[in-house]
Amino acid sequence: MTNNKKQIPMVDLTAELALIRKPVVEMVTEVLDSGEYILGEKGKQLEKLVAQYVDATYGLGTANGTDALQLSLMALNIGPGDEVITTPFTFFATAEVIAQVGAKPVFVDIDEETYNIDPSKIEAAITKNTKAIIVVHLFGQVANMKEIMAIAKAHKLRVIEDACQAIGSEYDGKRVGAIGDIGCFSFFPSKNLGAFGDAGLIVTNERELYEKIHSLHNHGSSATYQHATIGMNSRLDEFQAAILLVKLYYLDIFLHKRKEIAKRYTENLNNNDHIKLPPVSENREHTFHQYCIELEERDKLTAKLKNNGIASAIYYPVPLHLQKALQYLHYQEGDFPIAERTAKRIMALPISPMLSLHDQDYIISTVNRFVEGND
Ligand SMILES: *Cc1c(COP(=O)(O)O)cnc(C)c1O
């Protein structure tokens, strides 16, 4: 049944490369010929341009988004005995880094509209050991930053934005990453701004934090072979920086395409009681890293799409409080009902700047036939 039909993937990175191949090859060649492969000019330029893009004072490249988060916790001196509040409905790395620095991840259920941490439930989770909140802007949808920043201020907590899926997303006209104390980006290849390998970046407006992370990401050194603290080796690769400079140039065009595709889905997908489409709130600019729908018969629709040559994905099938690696925290099924329910019902449809209107129409009609019960 599937065989001679075309396949529509979740993302098509080679199609994206075809568009920008020439400048990418030129930039990579420049790095090759420069003889400067670690902590060179391309990385510095990218740090400056990404910081400018999100309107932050400082930018600093890291090896990946996970390290960006971990370095942020380290710079805030968060470790054993400390608690960090975050969402159970995110990629594992968000909570992993909290455990990695020896602190305790404390989960708070999500809001069913945005899939992000529910601010009204944060205060009940704050204890005398709480040091920070890691806010995730899942799928490119911004969390309720106004309420979260107010709670953080009232309780003297730091806010780290896990903006790994959300570069360019806005809240009240401000780009994410520069709203909290530190913002973390991932340039994993499939992210909205993706390298051709691993890469990440932090932004902040605080000079002291920037300097701390600057030292920490390069073995805690302030001058060559002088090590003031225990750090990491987590530097942004010069080749990836060069590629990202080209891709940053196209970022707004690609984000615009994503938003158009999302709008087209929302306008054309059959919106009845059986399916929930992603809402976009007025004061937020959603960049649609993923276009997620919710329905009871999620697994049946997944199979149906697969049979028709259409890829789909589940982000995320298991909330973090139910992950084996975090069993030691003693959370149980039922602790975060919204995250648990969402994990059973959510699925992502293909969305990428390269998705053709023709392919999208085919996806829409296939989903609509299923939702109407004709198939
Ligand atoms: C991708 C991602 C990360 C980790 O980024 P890497 O670059 O893969 O290390 C962290 N948090 C979220 C929400 C992500 O989507």
Ligand 1 closest atom vs CA 186: 7
Residues 103 and 197 in one domain: yes
The model's pLDDT over 129-177, given as tens digits with 9 standing for 90+, comes to 999 999 999 999 999 999 999 999 999 999 999 999 999 999 999 999 9
Lookup result for tokens 């990385």:
43
Asked if pLDDT for residue 375 goes beyond 80, the answer is no
Q: Which of 197, 226, 245 is the last residue of a domain?
A: 245
215 with 308, same domain: the answer is: no
Domain boundary pick from 194, 211, 245: 245
Q: How many angstroms does the Cα of residue 139 sit away from the middle of ligand 1?
A: 11
Tens digits of residue pLDDT in 239-283:
999 999 999 999 999 999 999 999 999 999 998 888 999 987 789
Report yes or no: 5 and 307 within 8 Å, Cβ to Cβ: no
- The DSSP annotation for 226-286 comes to EESS---B---BHHHHHHHHHHHHHHHHHHHHHHHHHHHHHHHS--STTEEPPP--TTEE-
Confidence check: pLDDT of 22 > 60 = yes
pLDDT at 3 over 60: no
Name all residues whose Cβ lies below 6 A of ligand 1: 64-66, 90-91, 93-94, 136, 162, 164-165, 186, 188, 198, 200
Nearest CA to ligand 1 atom 7: 65
Angle at 246 between CA 215 and CA 265, to 5 degrees: 110
Domain count, the chain: 2
- Of all protein residues, the one whose alpha carbon is nearest to atom 2 of ligand 1 is 164
Rounded distance between C-alpha atoms, residue 360 and residue 33, angstroms: 42
Higher local confidence (pLDDT), 73 or 274: 73
- Tell me the residue range of the domain where 282 lies: 250-371
> Which of 281, 276, 251, 254 is closest to 265 using CA atoms?
276
d(CA 105, CA 258): 33
pLDDT band at 374 (very low <50, low <70, confident <90, very high): low
* 208 and 280 within one domain: no
- Segment among 222-231, 332-341, 364-373 with least mean pLDDT: 222-231
Residue 233 sits in the same domain as residue 151: yes
How many other β-carbons are positioned within 10 Å of the β-carbon of residue 16?
Answer: 18
Residue 7 lies in a domain: no
Residue 8 lies in a domain: no
pTM over 0.95: yes
Within a domain: 5? no
Which residue in the block uniquely carries the two structure tokens 């191949």? 21
Q: Which atom of ligand 1 is nearest to the CA of 94?
A: 11
For residues 291 and 222, membership in a common domain is answered with no
* Residue 279, pLDDT score: 84
The mean pLDDT of the chain is 96
Distance 10 CA to ligand 1 centre (A): 17
Residues 293 and 317 in one domain: yes
Give all strands (DSSP E) within the chain, no chain letters.
58-62, 83-86, 104-107, 130-136, 158-162, 170-171, 174-175, 182-186, 200-204, 221-223, 226-227, 275-276, 284-285, 291-295, 346-349
CATH code, 62: 3.40.640.10
Q: How far is the CA of 90 from the centre of ligand 1 (A)?
A: 9
Do 45 and 134 lie in one domain? The reply is: yes
Cα 89 to middle of ligand 1, angstroms: 13
Spacing, Cα 18 to ligand 1 middle (Å): 25
Beta carbons within 8 Å of 112's beta carbon, 6+ residues apart = 338, 341, 342
Residue 220 phi, psi dihedral angles, 5° rounding: 60, 30
The protein residue whose alpha carbon is closest to atom 5 in ligand 1 is 65
Report the pLDDT averaged over residues 231-239.
Answer: 97
154 and 287 fall within a common domain: no
Residue to probe by mutation, ligand 1, list 142, 165, 192, 320, most atoms within 8 Å of CB = 165
Domain final residue, candidates 192, 216, 245 = 245
| Residue 182 main-chain phi, psi, to 5 deg | -140, 140
pLDDT number for residue 5: 65
Six-digit token string for 254: 């690609």
- Spacing, Cα 221 to ligand 1 middle (Å): 26
User: Quick one: 180 and 276 in the same domain?
Assistant: no
How many other CB atoms are found less than 10 A from the CB of residue 205? Answer: 17
Q: Could you say which DSSP state residue 63 is in?
A: S
Nearest ligand 1 atom, CA 165: 15
Same domain? For 318 and 353 the reply is yes
Based on the fold, state whether residues 226 and 292 are members of the same structural domain: no
Mapping DSSP to helix (H, G, I), strand (E, B) and coil, where does residue 305 land?
helix
C-alpha 366/C-alpha 361 separation (Å) is 8
Mutate to test the pocket of ligand 1, among 184, 188, 288 (most ligand atoms within 8 A of CB): 188
